[in-house]
């Protein structure tokens, strides 16, 4: 007879010295674990609640400007710094970590309308309503401890000032070349050393209000004009490539840095439209959540989400392929948001608004910034994953979706909803009472486009 | 030629062993998969299909990784008993087993004779390390089974009918003559649970921190031991019973009644989930298999039946008596009656056959059998004390530190308690099929809810409206007539949607039918159809 019984020796299962780690034995057999799904659901619920407890997205405000902040620029070589230009011509370089001004670039006589940084990060280009384009040399950001007072920062002189015939509305630098483009009554292409634009593009008689170079194709530009159009230009060709006319004006455009054939346009009718340049007759996604005109848009360096700032005093973060915002940031003191930027590491947003302040926010509102221990990180990832799995269940969904909205926005959103519903109902009734086929259903993504031109 | 053939044979040999290994791996992988994958062929949404396909792939990868890791992660081997020649397993006596096994294991079986203090109940903690012993005449003791140490022993001087550990070995509940009491490991009485009444049996639902008791008047009480709230209190209505067992798979309490019925209860419903007529006479013992599919019941009609809990039908019937039954972690069934214990084993396809047998001294009456978790030991509580015997192959050899750890330190115990409290499940999550949480209910066909259901909904809405408390007004505005009017208004508001729905459902049918027949064809589009 062969017999064997389970026998464990204590030495094998306990540690030898108190300096050793405790021994851990795993058996992944599902039979040992009951109620797996219920436990996961409870953890998802608790994680959703904890996320709301730790959601403190606002980090701080950077004040110093004395007029509304009209534009901002990122420096690709320095994560810590951001340039901002205001409506009274004041340009400042801020250190995000200390939220203080590093240096000022005075000189513009009127509002600064566009700011951009060159590819190598050495030069800052600004343009304004005083018909000038100014080039500045960017100083290296030094250690900030040895500063006594707030006013003690250096003021710089421009490297070059180019005067031209019309006021400028926007400027953007090529991602991979020496050229930059300005937008005014037409689109001008400049070189750093020439005091006159080397090339000009024009289509129609209206002012061009924003311009953006494509991150993947160095010669493609997207612009938006006040005749409600979005135009695509190629520098190698002498004429514009494509024009798309919509129902309302586009305030800003941003290319997706990870998918350079797609761009998103921030429109006056409170939505953002994502387009594929190869197929402009239909929007890829319509991002609808703002209640007032969207003023500025910027993509995260991951290309997975973008931030928008709107006239309705809020900043929203949208997923690149989702039609509703994942997050909304608002403060009582923040007035109309004119410009937003995602920081170069994708963890922060900076918004510049009408109340002369720049505000620094976290991209993920409940994220713990700084160095996390590996166990903390794993736990956070687990909680995110378990929330993701159960976020469709009503209790979890209610908590995850919940955001406090300021009353005017809540009411404005409700009003918009009723208006849209009423319009839809009217269309449905018209369709029901007319001959079948006489009123075609227009797909939503095409609805705001009037036509496309070559 | 011969050399070539040799090479070919070798190749074939190699491939067959590889085949075996991959089959084994497949078998193990299926264990970790927790069911079949979803059928993605019926989906038409390409985006969703792509996302789900990625997820399914991840699941299969993780199951495969777990199956591969099994080889390295299991330090202990299973126990077994293999008879040789004409020997049968049930003829093997405990003495011969003790003779064959190693020293540590030979110390595990024992006989503790405590003749004065009545029939003994015993319970093992979920890690298998601690044992709680309660004698009918009030003798309570807690022992550490690994070091065979007596932790605490005391007398309560009252009838003790049942003992059960709470989430730890730090606390235990005792069903005494009038009320259940909770003691801590030093023997200090911590709580007296008066609401329960005179308890006959206690059971603890681990993950939910619920203490369930059935009392002399056949009332079932559920109490949350972490917050102290009485979650539920139901009258079973089927007479006094002391057969109560919790199903470890879905935390449902099974009660066996004297009419032969077995009822299953959850804390959130007044009526039992399931009522099964199991035996022709009173039910004497109930046991649940840890996998949640098998239930064993024994009745006074000398039958032991095995039930399939998915279909609620009989799988097998055996004849025999049973005073007490218990399933082990590996699926062995121990049956105690009189002074004999029999252990049955599954010989494939849910057919149980006799595996081992143990006879105690003739006069002893066995009151309770309980398998010790993670060990090959069966504990027997009888009228003259406690014994334990070796049953090779009954316990799970490899424990998981985060589930139950027999070698727990104080720090690990404290951490585990905190995590268990954080993950405490709400009583609403108890259901017959716990894997249904998070799944999607199949879409209901557009059937109108029955009249009864709508009435019930209306009732609940009215109850909710009646329980609204109003702000107390001062300065002479708090007249009772006004208060009553306000309350009535709330009740009417709650009722209104149901009344409207009734109106919509009942009336227009007749009118619409007549109207539609009368209209000329061109005007029929303007009849009372809803523009949806």
pLDDT at A146: 45
**pLDDT grade, residue B528 (50/70/90)?**
low
Region B235-264: mean pLDDT is 94
A27/B74 touch (CB, cutoff 8 Å), yes or no: yes
Domain presence at residue A47: no
Three-state SS at B513: helix
Assign residue A200 the CATH number of its domain.
Answer: 2.130.10.10
pLDDT at B519: 76
B253-294 tens-digit pLDDT: 999 999 999 999 999 999 999 999 999 999 999 999 999 999
pLDDT at A83: 94
A29/B97 touch (CB, cutoff 8 Å), yes or no: no
Q: Which residue on chain A is closest to B440 by alpha carbon?
A: A393
What are the distances in angstroms from CA B266 to CA A37, A195, A238, A256, B310? 18, 83, 78, 54, 17
To the nearest 10 degrees (0 to 180), the angle between helices A394-401 and A374-390 is: 120
Domain presence at residue A334: yes
CB atoms inside a 10 Å sphere around CB A16: 8
| Residue A6, min C-alpha distance to chain B (Å) | 5
| Residue A7, min C-alpha distance to chain B (Å) | 6
Give the integer Cα–Cα distance in Å for A42 and A21: 30
If residue A254 lies in a helix (H) or strand (E), which one and from where to where?
Answer: strand A250-255
**pLDDT grade, residue B12 (50/70/90)?**
low
Give the integer Cα–Cα distance in Å for A34 and A12: 28
The parent domain of residue A212 ranges over 60-365
- The pairing of strands A160-163 and A170-173 is unpaired
**pLDDT grade, residue B353 (50/70/90)?**
very high
Name the nearest CA neighbour of B360 among B336, B386, B340, B342.
Answer: B340
Average pLDDT, chain A: 90
Looking at chain B, the whole-number percentage of residues with pLDDT higher than 90 is 68
Nearest CB to B399; choose among A27, A35, A40: A27
A25/B531 touch (CB, cutoff 8 Å), yes or no: no
Does pLDDT of A143 surpass 70? no
CB of B245 within 8 A of CB of B290?
A: no
Nearest CB to B434; choose among A4, A8, A35: A35
Give the integer Cα–Cα distance in Å for B471 and B480: 13
Domain presence at residue A35: no
DSSP string for residues in A74-128: E-TT-TTEEEEEETTS-EEEEETTTTEEEEEE---SS-EEEEEE-TTSSEEEEEE
Looking at chain B, the whole-number percentage of residues with pLDDT higher than 70 is 93
CB atoms inside a 10 Å sphere around CB A17: 5
CB of A211 within 8 A of CB of A221?
A: yes
| Residue B462, min C-alpha distance to chain A (Å) | 24
Provide the β-strand partners of residue B340: B337, B359
Does pLDDT of B516 surpass 80? no
A7/B105 touch (CB, cutoff 8 Å), yes or no: yes
Nearest CB to B399; choose among A7, A14, A25: A25
Least confident of A191-205, A298-312, A397-411: A191-205
A60-116 tens-digit pLDDT: 999 999 999 999 999 888 888 999 999 999 999 999 999 999 889 998 999 999 999
Three-state SS at A422: helix
Region B502-522: mean pLDDT is 71
Domains of chain B by range and CATH?
A: 89-432 (2.130.10.10), 451-521 (no CATH)
DSSP string for residues in B436-503: GTTPPPPPPPSPPPPHHHHHHHHHHHHHHHHTPPPPPP-TT---HHHHHHHHHHHHHHHHHHHHHHHH
B81/A1 touch (CB, cutoff 8 Å), yes or no: yes
Does pLDDT of A236 surpass 90? no
Name the nearest CA neighbour of A76 among A155, A217, A172.
Answer: A172
- Both tokens of B384, joined, read 């003259």
pLDDT at B508: 62
Domain presence at residue A75: yes
Domain presence at residue A432: no
Which of A199-208, B103-112, B418-427 is modeled with the greatest confidence? B418-427
pLDDT at A151: 56
pLDDT at B532: 42
Does pLDDT of B2 surpass 80? no
Q: Which of A6, A16, A321, A385 to mutate to test the interface with B (most CBs of B within 10 A)?
A: A6
B425/A35 touch (CB, cutoff 8 Å), yes or no: yes
A12/B75 touch (CB, cutoff 8 Å), yes or no: yes
First to last CA, chain A: 91
Domain presence at residue A120: yes
| Residue A48, min C-alpha distance to chain B (Å) | 14
Least confident of A25-34, A195-204, B101-110, B311-320: A195-204
Q: Which residue has the higher pLDDT, B446 or A401?
A: A401
Least confident of A38-47, A128-137, A294-303, A433-442: A433-442
Q: Which residue on chain A is closest to B33 by alpha carbon?
A: A30
Total domains in chain A come to: 1
**pLDDT grade, residue B333 (50/70/90)?**
very high
CB of A6 within 8 A of CB of B83?
A: no
Three-state SS at A351: strand
pLDDT at A132: 92
A5/B376 touch (CB, cutoff 8 Å), yes or no: yes
Least confident of A240-244, A253-257, B256-260, B515-519: B515-519
pLDDT at A57: 96
| Residue B525, min C-alpha distance to chain A (Å) | 8
Domain presence at residue A18: no
pLDDT at B531: 46
Domain presence at residue A393: no
Does pLDDT of B391 surpass 90? yes
Q: Which residue has the higher pLDDT, B30 or B381?
A: B381
Average pLDDT, chain B: 90
Contact residues, chain A to chain B, C-beta under 8 Å:
1-10, 12-14, 22-43, 46, 389-390, 393, 428-429, 432-433
A4/B392 touch (CB, cutoff 8 Å), yes or no: yes
Nearest CB to B101; choose among A5, A32, A46: A5
Does pLDDT of B512 surpass 80? no
Does pLDDT of A149 surpass 70? no
pLDDT at A192: 86
Q: What is the ipTM of this complex?
A: 0.81
């Amino acid at each position: 007879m062969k017999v064997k019984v389970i026998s464990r020796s204590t030495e094998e299962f306990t540690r030898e010295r108190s300096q050793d780690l405790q021994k851990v034995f795993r058996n992944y057999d599902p039979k040992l674990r009951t109620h797996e799904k219920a436990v996961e659901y409870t953890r998802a619920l608790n994680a959703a609640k904890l996320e709301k407890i730790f959601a403190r997205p606002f980090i701080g405000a950077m004040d110093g400007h004395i007029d509304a902040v009209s534009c901002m620029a990122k420096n690709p070589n320095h994560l810590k710094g951001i340039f901002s230009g205001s409506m009274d011509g004041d340009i400042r370089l801020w250190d995000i970590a200390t939220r203080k001004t590093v240096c000022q670039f005075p000189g513009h006589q009127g509002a600064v309308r566009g700011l951009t940084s060159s590819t190598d990060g050495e030069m800052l280009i600004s343009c304004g309503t005083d018909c000038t384009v100014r080039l500045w040399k960017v100083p290296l950001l030094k250690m900030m401890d040895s500063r006594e007072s707030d006013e003690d920062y250096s003021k710089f002189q421009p490297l070059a000032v180019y005067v031209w015939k019309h006021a400028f509305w926007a400027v953007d630098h090529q991602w991979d070349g020496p050229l930059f483009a300005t937008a005014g009554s037409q689109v001008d292409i400049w070189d750093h050393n020439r005091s006159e634009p080397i090339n000009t593009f024009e289509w129609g008689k209206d002012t061009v209000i924003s311009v953006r170079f494509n991150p993947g194709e160095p010669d493609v530009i997207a612009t938006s004009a006040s005749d409600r159009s979005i135009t695509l230009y190629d520098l190698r060709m002498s004429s514009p490539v494509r024009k798309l006319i919509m129902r309302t004006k586009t305030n800003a455009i941003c290319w997706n840095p990870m998918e350079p054939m797609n761009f998103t346009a921030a429109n006056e009718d409170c939505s953002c439209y994502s387009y594929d340049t190869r197929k402009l007759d239909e929007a890829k996604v319509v991002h609808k959540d703002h209640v007032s005109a969207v003023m500025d848009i910027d993509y995260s360096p991951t290309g997975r989400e973008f931030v928008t700032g709107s006239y309705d005093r809020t900043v929203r973060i949208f997923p690149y392929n989702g039609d509703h915002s994942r997050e909304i940031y608002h403060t009582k003191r923040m007035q109309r948001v004119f410009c937003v930027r995602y920081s170069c590491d994708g963890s922060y947003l900076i918004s510049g608004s009408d109340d002369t302040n720049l505000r620094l926010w976290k991209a993920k509102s409940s994220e713990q910034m700084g160095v996390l221990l590996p166990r903390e990180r794993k736990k956070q990832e687990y909680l995110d994953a378990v929330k993701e799995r159960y976020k469709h269940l009503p209790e979890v969904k209610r908590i995850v979706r919940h955001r406090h909205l300021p009353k005017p926005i809540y009411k404005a959103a409700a009003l918009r909803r009723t208006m849209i519903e009423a319009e839809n109902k009217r269309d449905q009734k018209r369709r029901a009472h007319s001959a079948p086929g006489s009123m075609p259903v227009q797909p939503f993504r095409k609805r705001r486009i009037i036509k496309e031109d070559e | 030629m011969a050399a070539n053939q040799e090479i070919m044979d070798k190749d074939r040999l190699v491939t067959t062993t590889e085949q075996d290994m991959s089959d084994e791996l497949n078998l193990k992988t299926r264990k970790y998969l927790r069911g079949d994958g979803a059928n993605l062929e019926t989906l038409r949404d390409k985006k969703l299909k792509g996302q789900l396909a990625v997820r399914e792939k991840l699941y299969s990868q993780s199951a495969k990784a777990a199956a591969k890791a099994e080889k390295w992660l299991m330090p202990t081997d299973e126990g077994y008993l293999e008879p040789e020649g004409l020997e049968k397993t049930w003829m093997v006596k405990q003495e011969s087993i003790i003779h064959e096994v190693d020293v540590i294991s030979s110390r595990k079986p024992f006989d503790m004779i405590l003749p004065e203090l009545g029939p003994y109940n015993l319970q093992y903690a979920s890690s298998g390390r601690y044992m709680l012993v309660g004698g009918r005449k009030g003798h309570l003791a807690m022992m550490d089974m690994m070091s065979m140490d007596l932790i605490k022993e005391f007398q309560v001087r009252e009838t003790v009918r049942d003992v059960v550990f709470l989430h730890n070995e730090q606390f235990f509940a005792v069903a005494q003559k009038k009320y259940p009491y909770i003691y801590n490991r030093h023997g200090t009485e911590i709580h007296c649970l008066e609401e329960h009444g005179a308890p006959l049996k206690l059971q603890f639902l681990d993950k939910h921190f619920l203490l369930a008791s059935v009392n002399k008047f056949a009332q079932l009480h559920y109490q949350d031991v972490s917050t102290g709230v009485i979650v539920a209190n139901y009258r079973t209505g089927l007479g006094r019973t002391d057969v109560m067992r919790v199903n470890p798979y879905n935390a449902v309490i099974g009660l066996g009644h004297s009419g032969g019925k077995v009822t299953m209860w959850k804390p959130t419903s007044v009526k039992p989930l399931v009522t099964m007529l199991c035996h022709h006479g009173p039910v004497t013992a109930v046991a649940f298999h840890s996998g949640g599919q098998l239930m064993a019941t024994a009745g006074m009609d000398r039958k032991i039946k095995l039930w399939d809990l998915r279909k609620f039908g009989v799988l097998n019937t055996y004849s025999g008596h049973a005073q007490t039954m218990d399933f082990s972690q590996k699926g062995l069934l121990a049956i105690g009656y009189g002074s004999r214990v029999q252990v049955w084993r599954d010989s494939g396809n849910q057919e149980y056959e006799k595996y081992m047998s143990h006879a105690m001294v003739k006069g002893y009456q066995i009151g309770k059998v309980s398998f010790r978790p993670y060990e090959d030991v069966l504990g027997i509580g009888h009228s003259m004390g406690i014994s334990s015997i070796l049953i090779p192959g009954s316990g799970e050899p490899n424990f998981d530190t985060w589930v139950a750890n027999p070698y727990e330190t104080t720090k690990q115990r404290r951490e585990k308690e905190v995590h268990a409290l954080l993950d405490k499940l709400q009583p609403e999550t108890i259901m017959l099929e716990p894997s249904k949480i998070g799944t999607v209910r199949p879409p209901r066909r557009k059937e109108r809810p029955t009249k009864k259901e709508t009435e019930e909904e209306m009732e609940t809405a009215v109850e909710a409206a009646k329980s609204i408390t109003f702000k107390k007004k001062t300065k002479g505005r708090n007249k009772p007539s006004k208060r009553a009017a306000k309350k009535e208004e709330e009740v009417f508001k709650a009722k209104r949607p149901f009344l409207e729905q009734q109106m919509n459902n009942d009336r227009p049918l007749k009118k619409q039918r007549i109207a539609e027949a009368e209209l000329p064809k061109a005007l029929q589009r303007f009849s009372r159809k809803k523009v949806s």
